[in-house]
Amino acid sequence: MRIGTLKESYVADAALFDSRTQHAWLAIAAALLLLFPFVASDYWLYMACLVAINVASATGLNILTGYTGLVSLGQAAFMGLGAYTVAILQTRYGTPFLLNLLAGGVVAMLGGIVVGIPSLRVKGLYLAIATIAASFIAHFLFANFQITGGTAGLSLPPARLLGVDLDTSFRLYWLIVPVTLLMLLGAANLFRTRIGRAFIAIRDRDISAEVLGIPLLRYKLLSFGLSSFYAGIAGGLWAYFFRVVTPESFPLSMSIFFLAAIIVGGMGSILGGILGAVFMTMVPELLKLVVDLLPGGAALAVFLSPVRLVVFGALIIGFLVFEPLGLAEIWRRVRRFFHLWPFRN
Amino acid sequence: MDWAYLFEISLTGIASGGLYALAALAFVMVYKATRVVNIAIGEMLMAGGYLFFTFAAMWALPLWLAIPAAVLACGLLGAVIERTMIRPLLGEPPISVFMVTVGLSSVLIGLVEMVWTADQRRLPEFMPSDPIMVGDAFLAPKVFWGAVVAAVFIAAVLLVFRYWRGGVALRATASDQAAAYSVGINVPRVFSLAWVASAMLAAISGIIVGSIGGISSSMGVFGLSVLVVVIVGGLDSVLGALVGGILIGLVEALAGAYLGGEYKLLATFVVLVVILMARPYGLFGTHEIERL
C-alpha cells in the first residue's frame, strides 16, 4: 500500500490504473507506440514486432507459471501449435487471418488442456518434465505429419487486411502490437476477476485453495488453457511475421527463453512479463552491438550464439539468486523512491 | 517375427540401459540428499566428456591420467555449482532451484560451444574393439564394455554408500535432515559431497557415452532420457534408477529397431507420460506426491 494515493470510492479503489501518474505514463507510452513506426528504421520495426510477439507469449507463460505456480517448459510447443494451425488454415483454406489467429489460439488451448491433464495427478517438477515430454511429442508430430509439410515445414502468404498485404514490418506492426496490447489488457484484468484470484490462491497454497472451494483440476486446466491460448496467438503472429514455419522453429530452448523472460522480468506480474520479454529479446542484439564495437569483431561473431546461451543461463541464475522478484521489483523500488520525492529522504 | 534379431536388439538395449542407469544414479544421488531436481545432468555428462577430450586428445595425456583428471575436474565443477548456485537457494521453493538448473544447463552448453565449438568431436579409442558374441547375437564392443564399466561403477557406488562413513551420512541426510543435524552430521557438507559425487559419476558416464557416440554440444539430450529414467524408476530410488535405466534402454532400442530412429525419443516420452498418469511416483519411488 502506497501512501499518498487516497481513494474515495470503491470504483477508484478497484481501478486497474489507480493514480494520475500512471495515467500520464500510459498516455505517453501510447503516444510513443503510435509514433514509433513513423520514425523508426526497418531494423527497429522488425525488433518491435518480435518483442511484441515475445511479450504476448511470455505473458501467457506468466499466467501459468507466475500466477498459478505451474512450471511449464512447453510454451514454444504451444506456439508451434498455433503457428501450424495458422499456416495450414492460410495455405489450404485461405480463411481470413483474424479467424486463423483465433483458431490458432483455440487449437493451442486444447493442446494445453491435454498437456495439463497430468496436473490432475502430479505437480511441480513432475509437471515441468511432463511439459518437456509434450514439447518433444509436438516436435515429432510437426516433423512427421503430412499436413504440416514434414521437416521442410510450410511457408505462407502474407496476411491480408482490407485489401492490403501485411508484408512489411511497418504494416505488421499495426497488427501485432494492437493484438499484443489487447492480450496484455486481458491478462491484467484477468487477475481482478474470480478466476485470476483463484489462480493466485492455487499458487500460494493449493490445499488451502481447495478448502476455499476452488476446484483445483478445473482451474489448473483453465490456467493451462489460457496460457497456451496466449502462446497460440503469439505463434500465429509469429507465423505471419516470419511466414515460414518448420519443426525446428520452436525448440526447447525457446521455451527456456520464455521461462527466463518471466524470471528476469518478475513472475506473477504483468509488467514483469513485459519487461522480461523486452529485455531478453534485446540482450542478443546488445551482444551483437558489443561484438561489433570490439576490435576484431568479425572473428568474434562465431562466439555470438554460445555467448547468448551463457548470458541467458547466467541471467536466470543471477536473478533467481539475487533478485527473485525480477525487474518488476527493481522498477517498483525505483517508483517508490520517486513517489514522494523529494519529500522523503 | 525374427527372434534372433529381437534378442540382439534387446541385448543392445539392456547394455545401453546400463549407461542410463549410471547417469540416473548420479541424478538420484543429488535428489536424495538435497531434493534438487538437476535438469542439467545431461550437460554435466557433456562437461565430463569434453574435459576428457581436452586431457586425452588435446593435451595428449595418457589414459590412466586423463580419465581420473577429467573425473576430478568434473567433481570440482560440481562443487562450484553447489557452492555458488544451489546453496544460496537453500530453503527457497524447489521450483526456483529447478529453474536454476535450467539456467545452468544453458550456461554449460554455451561454455562448451565457446571453448570447443559446436562441432561433433570423437574421443580417443580406449575400449577393446573385438566383436562380442552372446550366443548368436552380435553386440557392439563399445556398448558392451560401456555397460560393463557402468555396472562396475554402479556396484562400487552402492558399496561405498553402504559402508563408507560419508555415504552413511548422505543416506541419513536423505531420510531426515533434522535428525541428521542433531546427530552431528554436517548437512551442508553432505550436500556438497552429493554434488561432487554426482558430478564425478556424470563425468564417468559422459566419457563412456562420448566414446560410444562422440561428443557434441547437443549431448545434453541424453540427459532428457535420464530424466525419464529417474521418473520411471522413482526420483529417490536407487533400485528404480537401475531398473528404469534398463527399461528405458530396452524401449529405445526396440523403438529404434522396429519403428525407426526418429521414434526413439518419442517412445521414451510416451512411456514418461504413461507413468506420470498411472504411477507418478515411479516404480519404486516414495509415495510422497500430494494428490489433489
C-alpha cell of residue B190: 553432505
Q: Using a CB-CB distance cutoff of 8 angstroms, which residues of chain B are in contact with residue A314?
A: 103, 107
CA B257 to chain centre: 24
Q: What is the mean pLDDT of chain B?
A: 84
Is the distance from CB of B110 to CB of A307 less than 8 angstroms?
yes
CA B75 to chain centre: 14
Pairwise CA distance, residues A288 & B160, whole Å: 50
Per mean pLDDT, which of A89-98, A263-272, A286-295, B260-269 is the most reliable?
A263-272
pLDDT at A96 over 50: yes
Pairwise CA distance, residues B84 & B82, whole Å: 6
How close B195 comes to chain A (CA, Å)? 17
Q: How many pairs of residues across A and B have Cβ atoms under 8 Å apart?
A: 139
In chain B, pLDDT over 70 holds for what percent of residues?
97
CB proximity list for B162: less than 8 A, separation 6 or greater: none
Segment A105-117, tens digit of pLDDT = 999 999 888 888 8
Whole-prediction pTM: 0.85
**Which residue from A minimizes the CA distance to B262?**
A140
Band (B200; pLDDT cuts 50, 70, 90): very high
Pairwise CA distance, residues B272 & B276, whole Å: 6
Domains in chain B with CATH codes: 3-278 (1.10.3470)
Strand partners, B138: B133
DSSP 8-state symbol, A91: I
A251 touches chain B (CB under 8 A): no
Pairwise CA distance, residues B176 & A172, whole Å: 58
pLDDT at B291 over 60: no
Q: What is the mean pLDDT of chain A?
A: 83
Among the listed ranges B8-22, B81-95, B131-145, which one has the minimum average pLDDT value?
B131-145
Q: Which amino acid is located at A22 in the chain?
A: Q
Segment B241-260, tens digit of pLDDT = 888 899 998 988 888 888 87
B111 touches chain A (CB under 8 A): yes
Q: Using a CB-CB distance cutoff of 8 angstroms, which residues of chain B are in contact with residue A136?
A: 224, 265-266, 269
B101: phi then psi, degrees, rounded to nearest 5: -70, -30
A300 touches chain B (CB under 8 A): no
Band (B236; pLDDT cuts 50, 70, 90): confident
Which of A:167-226 have CB within 8 Å of B? 206-207, 210, 216-217
pLDDT of the residue at A292: 75
Asked if A137 and B100 come within 8 Å (Cβ–Cβ), the reply is no
How close A130 comes to chain B (CA, Å)? 6
Domains in chain A with CATH codes: 18-339 (1.10.3470)
**Which residue from A minimizes the CA distance to B107?**
A310
B261 touches chain A (CB under 8 A): no
More confident call, A116 vs A77? A77
As for the ipTM of the complex, it is 0.83
Band (A58; pLDDT cuts 50, 70, 90): very high
B105 touches chain A (CB under 8 A): yes
pLDDT at A47 over 80: yes
**Which residue from A minimizes the CA distance to B276?**
A118
More confident call, A54 vs B224? A54
Per mean pLDDT, which of A29-43, A84-98, A125-139, A172-186 is the most reliable?
A172-186
Q: Using a CB-CB distance cutoff of 8 angstroms, which residues of chain B are in contact with residue A212?
A: none
**Which residue from B minimizes the CA distance to A259?**
B99
Strand partners, B121: B215
Asked if A305 and B104 come within 8 Å (Cβ–Cβ), the reply is no
User: What number of CA atoms fall less than 13 Å from residue B263's CA on the CB side?
Assistant: 10
Which residue among B37, B110, B276 sits closest to A122, beta carbon to beta carbon?
Answer: B276
pLDDT of the residue at B80: 93
Asked if A124 and B117 come within 8 Å (Cβ–Cβ), the reply is no
Q: Using a CB-CB distance cutoff of 8 angstroms, which residues of chain B are in contact with residue A306?
A: 109-114, 118
- Segment A249-278 shows an average pLDDT of 87
pLDDT of the residue at A234: 92
The answer for A153, left when phi > 0, alpha when psi is -120 to 50, beta otherwise, is left
Is the distance from CB of A188 to CB of A270 less than 8 angstroms?
yes
Segment A140-185, tens digit of pLDDT = 888 887 777 777 777 777 777 776 777 777 778 888 898 999 999 9
Segment A247-256, tens digit of pLDDT = 888 888 888 8
Band (B292; pLDDT cuts 50, 70, 90): very low
User: Is A165 strand, coil or helix?
Assistant: strand
User: Is B225 strand, coil or helix?
Assistant: helix
